Amino acid sequence: MLYLLWGLLNLFLFVYFIAICFKATKLLREKLGMLAAMVFVLGLLSFTTSSNNKPTEFKTWKFVSADSINTNSFLIAELNNNLISKYELEVSYKKEGQINIPVSAYSSTTGFICGTNWKPHFINVQKTITNKFQYTVTGIVEWKLLGFTVYLQQKFYKGFVSPTNY
Q: Give, for all 166 residues of the chain, the pLDDT tens digit.
A: 778 888 888 888 888 888 888 888 888 888 888 888 888 888 777 666 545 444 445 677 677 665 555 656 888 889 988 888 899 999 888 887 777 888 888 898 988 888 888 899 999 998 888 888 899 999 999 998 877 888 999 999 999 988 765 5
| Alpha helix (H) residue ranges in 33-114 | 34-50
- CB contact at 8 A, 13 and 145: yes
Q: Looking at 36-98, which runs of residues are DSSP E strands?
A: 61-62, 73-81, 85-96
Residue 55 has what pLDDT? 42
Residue 71 has what pLDDT? 59
